[in-house]
Amino acid sequence: MISIIICSRTNTIPDVLAINITETIGSDYELIVIDNSENRYSIFEAYNIGIEKSNGKFLCFIHEDILFHTKKWGRELNRIFEINKEYGLIGVAGSSQKTKTPSGWWDCDNKSKSINIIQHYPNGKIVKEQFGFENSVLNEVVIVDGVFLALRKEMNIVFNHKLKGFHNYDLNIAIETLKKGYKVGITNQILIEHFSSGNLNKDWLESVIKVHKYYCNFLPMATNNLKDKDAEVFSIRRLINNSFLSKGNKIIVLEYCLKLFLKEPFYKSNLDLFKKGKIYLKK
C-alpha cells in the first residue's frame, strides 16, 4: 500500500486532487492530510506526523497543487521500487550533482538534470519538461524536487525537525536516504502537472543557507563522485543573484562575491557581478 501524505494550507485538500488520485493511482492507498491551516507546523514537522500515521510500505509526499496524468501510477511506483531495491527515494525532477554552495537542485547545467513534469509558470506559460532520459527510465541523482517524493518506509527515515520552515526538506530527505546506503532516482514513468513554481524569497534563501550549513560535511555530492569547479562557480553566481532578487542578507552577498573572486578573479562576467553587488551593498 502507498501512504500519500500532504501538508495542507486548509483542513482538507482540493476535491479535484482527491478525485484525481482515486481515478489514477490504480493501487491500494491511504490519504493522510495534515491540517496546517493555522500554520502550526513546519513542513518537516507535518511530514513527520504523516509518517507516524502511515501504514503503507511506500510513503508518497506530494504538493496539493498537482494532478497526476499517468494512469495506474501507483502500480508503476510499486514496480519501480520492487525491481530497483537499491533505490530508497524516487522523484520526478532532480539533479545528479549538488554543490557545496547553497543553491536549489536546478542551479546546475542541464546535463545534470532529469525532469519529467508539466510545469506552470507565473507568466502563464505551461511547459512539458521531459529530458535526461535518452537511454533509461530511471536515472540516479543526489537530490530531488519536493513536489513529489516517494520513500521506502522500511528505511525508517524522518525529516529533520530542527530545520524549520517550508523549504529544502527535499535536500534533507535525499541526504538522509544516501546516508542509509540507498540510491536516489528520478523516473519518467510517472507524469504530474504542477500548477505553481517555487518562490525564491528571503525565507527560501535563509533556509537554503541553514540546510547547507547543517549538511556541510556531506557536500558537495555527485553520482560520479567528481567535484566540479564550474558547478560551484555557477552556484555561487546564482546564489548572489538570488540574494539580489530576494533582498537577502548583505553579508551573504559580500561573502560569496569574495569566494567568486578567489575562484575566478579575472572573468568579465564576475566583475560585472561584483559591480552589481557593490551597488547592492551600498543600499
Q: What is the rounded CA–CA span in Å between residue 258 and residue 274?
A: 9
Residue 283 lies in a domain: no
The reply to whether 151 falls in a domain is yes
pLDDT digits (tens, 9 = 90+) for 114-130: 999 999 998 889 999 99
Flag whether 245 is in a domain. no
Going by C-beta distance under 8 Å and a sequence separation of 6 or more, which residues neighbour residue 42? Answer: 161, 163, 164, 165, 166
pLDDT in tens, 59-73: 999 999 999 999 999
Contacts of 91 (CB under 8 A, 6+ apart): 141, 144, 145, 147, 148, 149, 150, 170, 184, 185, 186, 187
**Does a structural domain hold residue 125?**
yes
- Which amino acid is located at 225 in the chain? N
- 156: three-class secondary structure by DSSP: coil
User: Distance between CA 71 and CA 84 in Å, rounded?
Assistant: 21
- Give per-residue pLDDT as tens, 206-254: 888 899 999 999 999 999 765 666 788 788 877 777 776 556 566 666 6
Task: Give domain status of residue 90, yes or no.
Answer: yes
The CATH number for 184's domain is: 3.90.550.10
Who contacts 89 (Cβ-Cβ below 8 Å, separation ≥6)? 144, 149, 150, 151, 152, 173, 174, 177, 182, 183, 184, 185
Q: Which domain holds residue 204?
A: 2-218
273 belongs to a structural domain: no
262, part of any domain = no
Domain annotation covers residue 269 = no
Gap between the Cα atoms of 187 and 214, Å rounded: 28
Distance of CA 123 to the CA centre of its chain: 22
Confidence at residue 137, expressed as pLDDT on a 0 to 100 scale: 95
**Structural domain tally of the chain?**
1
pLDDT means per 10 residues, the chain with 283 residues, are 96 94 98 94 97 97 97 98 98 95 88 95 92 93 97 96 91 97 98 87 85 92 75 80 63 68 58 53 49
The residue written with cell numbers 530527505 in the block is 173
